Structure 1
């Protein structure tokens, strides 16, 4: 699941690929398989590479910003944070696979080459190209765990109760807000950029929520970023993840598409 989810950004698609890999394992002559882990990883990676082609076509027709399915943890255990997953979306499927297998999961290039059925030198080049594209997506400023979770809870309270002064004090000047509704729930159709634009958007949201408040379900790490799960006025869940730099919120990532939240129920 760890490999498949990071390849695809979708919990449901990752589960499907793991299931298909299991079916192929059950059909295989396992007595002839010298290294079961390598066999399964190779099978799964190839399935994911095929799946990425169709996933890319679906995302080209996606309504509004696309965000990966949220994975919520109690602790900051994600080795691939949400900004990095978004950067991976800009890579070719082969670059993505080479980078994940080598840089994230620690495989040597000989094993990466066997998994991808490519020459080791070609895999090394694919990973190097990927690395240059995703370098800026690596977290640069880490905040202590409890402080970051406290900031996430304060963000929820200020954004829901209309305390715009407290809300604005948390934001960086160049903050961005990304909302993934997938055309199934109301969400901004474009990324909202800049302090003034984000303040205006959340002032509108707070005015709408004044009489139909949302409920904080859980504070935790959403794809490696401090954030929370909330139950909104329409009875649906929502996740919010916050990218923090120098103690200020640099980016807000909200997933509202119910298809991406089913596994959280």
Structure 2
């Protein structure tokens, strides 16, 4: 069996102990982190190495930043999303090959700031992601694209009243770009196993969103076809949000059966 997870930690320096606790308890093979909010050289590599995990980090001062923790041999394949030229200084993508799979860890632009240019950047990222996925499919590569997509694919993926109709997370263009990934042949891990129901991965710090369960499902794991055939479980670790000083996101964990042969 193989287990991997994605988690927007909203500052690794503030959530380091939360991550260590999660690693010790759940022992994922791969953990993709977003919004680490630190430069690459100050990421706590030694702390996670002591816990049995190597760190692959693409950092940025104060904002964004992605990292992958793994306890297996790996190869770094990309430190930026191929084809996304809008602002290459933004640390939003890192990719490795591990245990026969490519893991692409992404932090997609929110799209609500920066006016029309900010939203165009979001759509450009999704276009580049789709082209990259298509290329891997044509090459016969098995892969997982996981992370904070900043998209609620359907109305069931956010609590009633949690977002306005013109929010970038639910605009028709955002949802169409997400569907394009599915139409390529990728599988939304959670919805493959739980086609209906409200499963949230994010609760805002404001307006008692956690207490009111006014959440969003914006963290996703999309699986290429052969990987989807191995899918066993996919669920958010909801309890993480109720801990002291939590991130506003919780981990989404996925397990796969071993590859045939």
Q: Normalized against structure 1, the TM-score is what?
A: 0.29
Q: Normalized against structure 2, the TM-score is what?
A: 0.29
Computing the radius of gyration from Cα coordinates, the structure with the larger value is 1
Normalized per residue, the structure richer in strand is 2
